[in-house]
């Protein structure tokens, strides 16, 4: 928030408070100050900052000093709001992306400051208790923005199409990493270094590092061709889209702002759009959906055609909403930490509605019946008994959720988390099996597709005799205990 914007909002809050304390409406304040009703309305909303002469008139009419009206100090009633206005949290909220003006938020708060300030204090307390950091809010805001736009951004698609046409990039798969490297070097004066990262073992989990002063891109030489192509394409995205505020490493070590988070996503989106051409991929998805039987090799064939990682391929399934009208879709990525044999959901996206499964953030055991997790366990077993540690697995499942009865067709790929060691990764696409999805995806009722009843976490699941259960249903047990207590209390109190 700019200093002038902060100044306008603070002044407007003071005018509102003192006007209401006098019991005046805008017409009465206009009569006492000689300022028009429309201009007073703009002042209170923080849209206008009056000239010194009008400041004096307002101060005199309201019975306070002009010096206090101009100062950044707020009365006790609005003090928590003042702290919030000065906080980095509110400054970084991407309100404009959601069509919301900061003045609108302030106006809502000003209508009932005591209640809203208490609510804000509660939220901040929750954030402190659960160790939520700025990046938790940034990533949550980014997910909400993606979901609002159905994870489809026409402006980036058009920029990618223009770049592909201008530079004669292959449109039917197999974009060479060497071509992308050449474009970075010739069009943006980059130098590409594949040796330096190898000299630092502690940086081997990073896929790339960018030195903006020397325009040097350090690439991990252990990357596969598809991983290398994605890093180079993403770097092109930062330049073509003119995204200035950006992370300097392939994965976030520290998040500095929401703009940085958003720009990183936009560059990645651009990379996917030039690596997996929209027109060609829509044609391929259409052919895939027309198959009468599930073919586990289809996804592997698509990844080979486009030389794309599972993450890149599944990101391109964002076209399901735009071109196939499949809006009730979710995407998940799970990490399997092999050392502690633990599962963590590190990416999720829900289009049209909040689906299950979802990341609860409660440190509970995700349902082991999910395709995402069962494939990761299968991959671990395979790696222990094979000489092909880089092998990928594909799978499909019809998952019916115990609590809601909703059924999803889930398609997943599990793979080693290369170049990171000690972990595997699975990415999952879930489509709600409503009437439209069943007409679109012809193999949905293939008898070979397993049908499984699932839930969110073991702690919240009432399913009896579950062989995959990793923890007792403690949340269910506590809920039932509370219900028994409530029933007994109602009996004893006669209510």
Structure tokens at 158: 């058009």
Could you tell me if residue 289 is inside a domain?
no
Question: Environment class of residue 290 by beta-carbon count within 10 Å: exposed (0-12), middle (13-18) or buried (19+)?
Answer: exposed
CATH of the domain at 156: 1.10.10.2910
Query: What value does the mean pLDDT take over residues 445-463?
Result: 91
Could you tell me if residue 32 is inside a domain?
yes
Nearest to 143 by CA among 360, 354, 350: 350
Mean residue pLDDT of the chain comes to 86
pLDDT at 122 over 70: no
Q: Give yes or no: residues 76 and 27 share one domain.
A: yes
22-36, 101-115, 133-147, 481-495: which has the highest mean pLDDT?
A: 22-36
pLDDT of residue 148: 80
Banded model confidence at residue 204, pLDDT cuts 50, 70, 90: confident
Could you tell me if residue 318 is inside a domain?
no
Q: Give yes or no: residues 114 and 157 share one domain.
A: no
Q: What is the DSSP secondary-structure string of 316-368? A: GGGHHHHHH---SEEEEEEEEETTTTEEEEEEEEEESS-PSS----S---B-T
pLDDT at 46 over 90: no
Integer Cα distance of 459 and 462 in angstroms: 9
Query: What value does the mean pLDDT take over residues 432-461?
Result: 93
Banded model confidence at residue 358, pLDDT cuts 50, 70, 90: low
Domains identified in the chain, total number: 3
pLDDT at 133 over 70: no
Q: Decide if 471 contacts 459 (C-beta within 8 A).
A: yes
pLDDT of residue 389: 62
pLDDT at 91 over 70: no
pLDDT at 436 over 90: yes
Nearest to 206 by CA among 177, 178, 184, 227: 227
pLDDT at 391 over 90: no
For 243-263, the pLDDT digits (tens) are 999 999 998 888 888 889 999
pLDDT at 267 over 80: yes
Structure tokens at 90: 């509110």
Q: Give yes or no: residues 362 and 471 share one domain.
A: yes
pLDDT at 88 over 60: no
Query: What value does the mean pLDDT take over residues 408-428?
Result: 89
Q: Give yes or no: residues 113 and 158 share one domain.
A: no
pLDDT at 213 over 60: yes
Its pTM stands at: 0.77
Structure tokens at 288: 């895939």
pLDDT of residue 80: 60
Q: Does residue 20 sit in helix, strand or coil? A: helix
Query: What value does the mean pLDDT take over residues 354-362?
Result: 59
Q: Give yes or no: residues 170 and 125 share one domain.
A: no
Could you tell me if residue 137 is inside a domain?
no
End-to-end CA distance of the chain: 53
Q: Decide if 175 contacts 307 (C-beta within 8 A).
A: yes
The range of the structural domain enclosing residue 123 comes to: 3-132
């Amino acid at each position: 928030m700019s200093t002038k914007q902060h100044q306008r909002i603070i002044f407007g809050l003071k005018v509102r408070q003192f006007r209401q304390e006098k019991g005046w409406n805008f017409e009465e304040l206009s009569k006492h100050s000689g300022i028009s009703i429309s201009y007073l309305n703009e002042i209170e909303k923080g849209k206008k900052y009056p000239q010194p002469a009008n400041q004096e008139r307002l101060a005199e009419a309201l019975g306070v000093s002009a010096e206090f009206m101009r100062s950044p100090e707020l009365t006790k009633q609005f003090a928590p709001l003042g702290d919030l206005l000065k906080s980095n949290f509110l400054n970084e909220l991407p309100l404009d992306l959601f069509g919301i003006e900061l003045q609108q938020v302030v106006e809502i708060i000003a209508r009932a400051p005591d209640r809203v300030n208490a609510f804000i204090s509660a939220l901040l307390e929750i954030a402190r208790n659960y160790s939520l950091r700025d990046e938790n809010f940034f990533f949550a805001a980014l997910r909400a923005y993606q979901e609002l736009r159905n994870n489809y951004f026409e402006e980036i698609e058009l920029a990618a199409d223009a770049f592909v046409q201008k530079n004669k990039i292959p449109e039917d798969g197999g974009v060479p990493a060497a071509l992308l490297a050449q474009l970075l070097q010739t069009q943006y004066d980059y130098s590409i270094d594949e040796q330096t990262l190898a000299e630092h073992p502690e940086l081997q989990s990073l896929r790339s590092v960018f030195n903006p002063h020397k325009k040097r891109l350090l690439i991990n030489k252990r990357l596969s061709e598809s991983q290398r192509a994605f890093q180079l394409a993403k770097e092109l995205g930062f330049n073509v889209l003119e995204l200035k505020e950006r992370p300097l490493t392939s994965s976030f070590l520290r998040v500095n702002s929401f703009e940085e988070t958003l720009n990183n996503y936009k560059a990645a989106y651009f990379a996917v759009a030039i690596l997996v051409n929209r027109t060609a991929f829509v044609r391929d998805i259409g052919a895939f959906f027309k198959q009468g039987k599930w073919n586990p090799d289809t996804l592997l064939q698509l990844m080979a055609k486009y030389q794309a990682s599972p993450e890149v391929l599944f990101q391109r399934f964002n076209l399901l909403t735009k071109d196939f009208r499949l809006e009730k879709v979710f995407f998940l990525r799970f990490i399997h930490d092999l050392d502690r044999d633990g599962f963590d959901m590190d990416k999720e996206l829900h289009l049209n509605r909040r689906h299950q499964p979802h990341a609860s953030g409660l440190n509970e055991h995700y349902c082991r019946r999910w395709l995402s997790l069962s494939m990761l366990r299968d991959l671990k077993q395979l790696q222990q008994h094979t000489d092909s540690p880089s092998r990928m697995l594909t799978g499909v499942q019809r998952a019916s959720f115990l609590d809601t009865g909703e059924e999803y067709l889930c398609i997943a790929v599990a793979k080693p988390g290369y170049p990171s060691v000690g972990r595997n990764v699975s990415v999952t696409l879930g489509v709600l099996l409503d009437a439209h999805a069943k007409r679109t995806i012809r193999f949905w009722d293939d008898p070979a597709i397993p049908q499984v009843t699932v839930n969110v976490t073991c702690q919240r699941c009432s399913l009896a005799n579950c062989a995959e259960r990793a923890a007792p249903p403690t949340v269910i047990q506590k809920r039932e205990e509370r219900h028994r207590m409530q029933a007994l209390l109602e009996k004893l109190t006669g209510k």
